[in-house]
Amino acid sequence: MNIKRIIYTISLALLLVNTSCKKDYSTIGNNMIEQPDFVGEKYEDATIITYDKAIDKVFSTNLPVHAFGFYHNDAFGDIKAELSTTILPDTQKFKPEGFGENVKILDAKIFIPFHSHTEKDNGVEEVVIDSIFGNKPFNVKVYELGYLLPSYDPDMNLEQQRKYYSDFDFTTNLLTKIADSVSFEPDFHPYFTYEREKDGSFKLDDQGNKIRKDSLSPHFAIKVDTSYIRQKIFDKSGQNVLTVNSDFKNYFRGLYFKAEEVNNDGRYMMMKLDKGEIFISYTHDVNNDNGTPNDTSDDFLEPKYEEMVLKFGNPKVNTYYNSPSADMQTALNNSDPVNGDDNIYLKGNAGSEAVVHAIDDQQLLNMKNNHWKINKAEIKFYVNDNITGQGKLPDNLVLFDYVHHKLLAEMREKENTDNNNSIFGGKLEKDDNGNQYYKFNISRHIRNIVQNDSINVDLGLRVCPDPMITLNSGKLKDPDNYTPKGVVLYGNQSPVSDKRPKLTIYYTKPE
């Protein structure tokens, strides 16, 4: 066979293969709105049902941020957050030989850093406090906790970590009150520590000013009753309850932070409880041999300054007390899972969520029967500013598989982590007319339903303060744990028809 004939035969075969592999898809329409990569039709007639549902509790153990305080919001009502934490021994100080003689306690304070970050203003670095709600004083009480907080679940043979939820009531297990502040107002300025002399007095410079030792980020700080510290710690000098870790955990089970509103108002603070501690400064007598170790006749006692730190251990638990506003409670009581609601209330801290049926089953069947190829799908929810008011809105919401309580396909993809959740969406946005909304890309989810016969499950919609935590964990971990923010969205029964939730699908279909 000559070379020309071989080339001709190969070319003909390739032409036949190419022709046989062409799919009979044709483009519907000429332009793909907001998506130049696709050319196809736009479908916006999906029947969406949205309704309210109260959240009974959320997982609230060992969070990256814990809430504390009281906050009132006209649209959503009142929320109070209280804290429980275990205490770790100071192994550097808790020795069998004890603390020495003539102990004098100079100071005892609880410190918990606020959630904060630094910014530069004209070249000057400033600390900015994050997530403080309200600006009124409130009452703070700290108690010794009589409830043992095991890390592992005794009902599971101590083989699994115990889960604590936001409805856990510790108040029947409170012992001695160790700190009390009426009309507490936090100081948001950096906190300074100072150099001390042997006797515990402050070292002074030539101008008589205290010499700074360290500068700490702004902290929640409250004085602890020193008589309690003496009885609980120093009177047990050298005993097993201090020197044996297991004995100490049972002896000093933890602390409980209680918040009380003043005139139905207060302040709600985000704090780094994992950095919390009880800081104790004290002096005790030590022997000074006067430089003659072999001659005790000139020995004398002198004070020595010491510092002790009892850090907060795990578990750390947030307890939330919600009192919904009258309008929110009415909306929750009258929620309509069949027809949907005119407004949907979303609130963090075990407040409320929404259930979303994104597409009618008959419409879905028509898409399948017509062999739609889904190019893109996005769903949008508009904010009802008239009800939400001027409070702080959530920066992010999360849309998830409500039935199985797991992330949607879009959110499980690695590129979401790489792109800071830009693919999935859920951020608060604003259109050219000033209307605020949240939009989600659910292309893979809809494609799986239409093209791959996945189940058309109901979706859940919640407040989500930090979607990257959810993304990096790869799991849905009750995303609304540590923010009191809330938002009211227009529901599918809203009389304002152009603000109802809308699912937009871009597709092509075969001829």
pLDDT digit string, tens, across residues 295-323: 777 778 889 999 999 999 999 999 999 99
Residue 112 and residue 212 in one domain: yes
Closest CA to 288 of 278, 280, 277, 297: 297
Could you tell me if 148 and 87 are in contact, meaning their C-beta atoms sit under 8 angstroms apart?
no
The whole-number pLDDT of residue 215 equals 84
Residue 160 and residue 269 in one domain: yes
Number of domains in the chain: 2
pLDDT confidence bin for 123, thresholds 50/70/90: confident
Q: Domain end: 265, 291, 321, which one? A: 321
Residue 181 and residue 241 in one domain: yes
Residue 310 and residue 430 in one domain: no
pLDDT confidence bin for 340, thresholds 50/70/90: very high
pLDDT confidence bin for 241, thresholds 50/70/90: very high
Residue 423 and residue 451 in one domain: yes
Q: Is the pLDDT of residue 394 over 80?
A: yes
The whole-number pLDDT of residue 342 equals 96
Per the DSSP assignment, residues forming a β-bridge with 399 are 461
Residue 91 falls inside a structural domain: yes
Q: Is the pLDDT of residue 38 over 50?
A: no
Look over the chain and give the mean of its residue pLDDT values, rounded to a whole number. 84
**The two structure tokens encoding residue 451:** 């093209």
Separation in Å, CA 124 to CA 113, 187, 215, 297, 396? 21, 20, 16, 58, 30
Q: Which residue has the tokens 């017509």?
A: 370
Give mean pLDDT, residues 211-225: 91
The whole-number pLDDT of residue 159 equals 67
Whole-angstrom Cα distance, residue 299 to residue 288?
Answer: 6
Please enumerate in sequence order all residues whose Cβ is within 8 A of that of 457, keeping only pairs 6 or more positions apart, or say none. 401, 402, 403, 404
Give mean pLDDT, residues 492-498: 94
Per the DSSP assignment, residues forming a β-bridge with 67 are 270
Give mean pLDDT, residues 131-137: 89
Residue 30 falls inside a structural domain: yes
Q: Is the pLDDT of residue 469 over 90?
A: no
Give mean pLDDT, residues 78-91: 95
Residue 196 and residue 127 in one domain: yes
**The two structure tokens encoding residue 161:** 């970590």
Residue 258 and residue 329 in one domain: no
Percent of the chain as helix, strand, coil, to the nearest 5: 20, 40, 40
Whole-angstrom Cα distance, residue 444 to residue 456?
Answer: 13
- 500 or 297, which is more confident? 500
Q: Per mean pLDDT, which range of 117-131, 195-209, 339-353, 447-461 is the poorest?
A: 117-131
Q: Per mean pLDDT, which range of 393-407, 416-430, 451-465 is the poorest?
A: 416-430
Whole-angstrom Cα distance, residue 272 to residue 292?
Answer: 49
Q: Is the pLDDT of residue 13 over 60?
A: no
Domain extent for 284: 77-321
Residue 302 and residue 344 in one domain: no
pLDDT confidence bin for 414, thresholds 50/70/90: low
φ, ψ dihedrals at 230, nearest 5°? -65, -50
Q: With H, G, I as helix, E, B as strand and everything else as coil, classify residue 456.
A: coil
Residue 135 and residue 95 in one domain: yes
The whole-number pLDDT of residue 379 equals 95
Residue 237 falls inside a structural domain: yes
Residue 18 falls inside a structural domain: no
Q: With H, G, I as helix, E, B as strand and everything else as coil, classify residue 183.
A: strand
Residue 349 and residue 247 in one domain: no
Convert the pLDDT of each residue in 256-295 to its tens digit. Answer: 999 999 999 999 998 999 999 999 999 999 888 788 888 7
Q: Is the pLDDT of residue 156 over 90?
A: no
**The two structure tokens encoding residue 184:** 């507490």
Residue 49 and residue 164 in one domain: no
Whole-angstrom Cα distance, residue 424 to residue 397?
Answer: 11
- Amino acid identity of residue 311, one-letter, is K
pLDDT confidence bin for 184, thresholds 50/70/90: very high
Looking at mean pLDDT, say which of 182-186, 381-385, 402-406 comes out highest.
381-385
Residue 235's Cβ-side half-sphere holds a number of Cα atoms within 13 Å equal to: 7
pLDDT confidence bin for 476, thresholds 50/70/90: low
Q: Domain end: 321, 345, 376, which one? A: 321
Could you tell me if 353 and 345 are in contact, meaning their C-beta atoms sit under 8 angstroms apart?
no
Q: Per mean pLDDT, which range of 30-34, 85-89, 203-207, 413-417 is the poorest?
A: 30-34
Q: Domain end: 287, 321, 355, which one? A: 321
The whole-number pLDDT of residue 481 equals 58
Residue 67 falls inside a structural domain: no
Separation in Å, CA 427 to CA 348, 439, 492? 16, 7, 21
Residue 364 falls inside a structural domain: yes
The whole-number pLDDT of residue 183 equals 92
- 190 or 459, which is more confident? 459
CB-count exposure of residue 114 (10 Å: 0-12, 13-18, 19+): buried
Convert the pLDDT of each residue in 15-37 to its tens digit. Answer: 433 433 333 333 333 333 344 44
- 350 or 104, which is more confident? 104
Residue 303 and residue 231 in one domain: yes
Closest CA to 490 of 362, 383, 387, 404: 383
Element (H, E) at 508: strand 502-510
The whole-number pLDDT of residue 27 equals 32
The whole-number pLDDT of residue 48 equals 94
